[in-house]
Amino acid sequence: MNNNSLVTLSPEVGDAIERRLPIVAMESTIISHGMPYPQNAETAKNCERICRENGAVPATCAVIGGKICVGLTEEQIDYLGREGQKVTKASRRDLPMLIAKSMDGATTVAATMIAAALAGIRVFATGGIGGVHRGAETTMDISADLEELAETPVCVVCAGAKSILDLNLTMEYLETKGVPVIGYGTDELPAFYTRKSGIKVPWRSDAPEEIAEAIRASKELGYPGGMLVVNPIPEEYSMDADVINKAIDDAVEEAKKKGIKGKETTPFLLAKIKDLTGGESLVSNIQLVYNNVRLAARIAAKL
């Protein structure tokens, strides 16, 4: 059981930890910054339901009133959904001051990994990770998610890096940091909205139990960091690569013109892409998250 005074476990998560049941961590940025209310809260609750249906206990994470909450009530999920972007988007750098000021924060991939690790949870499901942004050679805009993967022992299941990023440089960065990257049923990095990017991943696995064994091996080897499992979006929800890539290029160009930088970049680009694709990208986004939760629950069950 976690004894950190800054971490609050829900009764369900606390019981699951004591009984050594499979648990999957989930982020809360998707609730507050990912989509409008009530769709955001409904999506989060569906993720929890899918997690349970596949044999694991869900642990949605957030900072509420200065406490790192691992496992949220339905009321807390609704609260984050209603407050939306008024809630601080919380990465590693934000946690100390959110705690000090007793504020609320919706956890990104990096912050959720920290919360999961504090609670002893080894598997985390999300949509897509952050990475190296396009033009990073001049802006130095690189997501804290990549450093967290190198430092924090949590396996992140995602649909690849968001395709608004420079995917080649993102993979190079992960390689430099020694982060194991495993394609689930694929030999190449999925590009979030689409199943293919043309970029090879170093390892492929077709079995959740094999990935669970790799997580065990990583721990026994004393690796300090986590690993990344990339899980392609289901075929029926995969978008046409030309359509989505044009929408991304147009959105990136507009962000440049408006001078949007840092952690405001991803929410702006995703909202703009949603508008440019007539909402199709949001449907794809939701379905790929559900798909990742299913896989993460199966991996956790094998641990």
86-105 CB burial, b ≥16 within 10 A, e <16:
ebbbbbbebbeebbeeebbb
Write down the catalytic residue from 27, 48, 148, 280. Answer: 27
- Annotated catalytic residue 89: no
- Annotated catalytic residue 147: no
Q: Which of 233, 219, 206 is nearest to 299 (CA)?
A: 206
Q: β-pairing, 105-107 with 123-125?
A: unpaired
Q: β-pairing, 105-107 with 57-64?
A: antiparallel
* Amino acid (1-letter code) at residue 42: E
Q: Are 267 and 85 in contact (CB under 8 A)?
A: yes
Cβ neighbours for 179, distance < 8 A, ≥ 6 positions apart: 146, 149, 150, 225, 226, 227, 228
* HSE-up (13 A, CA, CB side) for residue 128: 31
Query: What is the Cα–Cα distance from 234 to 193, expressed in whole angstroms?
Result: 10
Q: Are 25 and 121 in contact (CB under 8 A)?
A: yes
Write down the catalytic residue from 45, 89, 148, 162. Answer: 162
Q: β-pairing, 57-64 with 67-70?
A: antiparallel
Residues annotated as part of the active site: 27, 162
